[in-house]
Chains A and B, each alone.
Chain A
């Protein structure tokens, strides 16, 4: 079945450094790739998304890149801050069915 793989599972960086999280997907029909941030005790919150007709999208310190040929997409966070510490999930839509498949998550720790 459809699958989304996410790496790494944990990531520790110093404040001010960059963080990169990578995902791969299996469903060729996927055309929407969001990233969610989940803080302790809260539901996932959308932070950025990209559609298949775009290769890169940026919003202040975060950016997402997409390589449809390789079925890869990545999240880049620059100038990390302690408040960026959270679990990040990538996701892809399941073709036309209108729901999202999630990766297993990356726990990001930003050390002051």
Chain B
């Protein structure tokens, strides 16, 4: 089966600019996650969707970050305006509802804010 697809792979922007990331989960996976991984740290959950509804966005900086999953499949994560501390790898993961073994990550988007 195809894996979790993410694009772009790399992005460099100046602070205060906006940026968007795209994720296409594994077919049939109802749950989709966005994680932020700062260099040298473990992934930190930003937002969790089940189908097109938000399950957990408690750690999403809502003043600058937004995410949507309009048709319960693809998802986009946006940052506006970006700050230097947003430099990180943004990972998308998906799984069947409560199927822990199916928790599969994409390769991520590496964002550098200069």
Contact = CB atoms under 8 A, between A and B. Distances in A.
Interface in A32-75: 32, 34, 36, 41-46, 49
Question: Which of A6, A36, A102 has the largest number of chain B CB atoms within 10 A?
Answer: A102
Contacts of B100: 32, 34, 49, 93
A101 B45 contact: yes
Interface in B93-114: 93, 97-98, 100-101, 103-108
B101 A49 contact: yes
B43 interface: yes
A98 B105 contact: no
Classify chain A's interface size: 20 to 34
A98 B97 CA distance: 8
A67 B34 CA distance: 30
B73 interface: no
Interface of B: 4, 31, 33, 40-45, 48, 50, 55-56, 91, 93, 97-98, 100-101, 103-108
B43 to A, nearest CB: 5
Interface of A: 4, 6, 32, 34, 36, 41-46, 49, 89, 91, 93, 97-105
A105 B40 CA distance: 8
A34 B43 CA distance: 14
Contacts of B48: 97-99
B25 to A, nearest CB: 13
B97 A45 contact: no
30 contacts: A6-B42, A34-B100, A41-B107, A42-B107, A42-B108, A43-B105, A44-B43, A44-B91, A44-B105, A45-B105, A46-B104, A89-B42, A89-B43, A91-B42, A93-B100, A97-B55, A98-B31, A98-B50, A98-B55, A98-B97, A98-B98, A99-B33, A99-B45, A99-B55, A99-B56, A102-B42, A102-B43, A103-B42, A105-B40, A105-B42
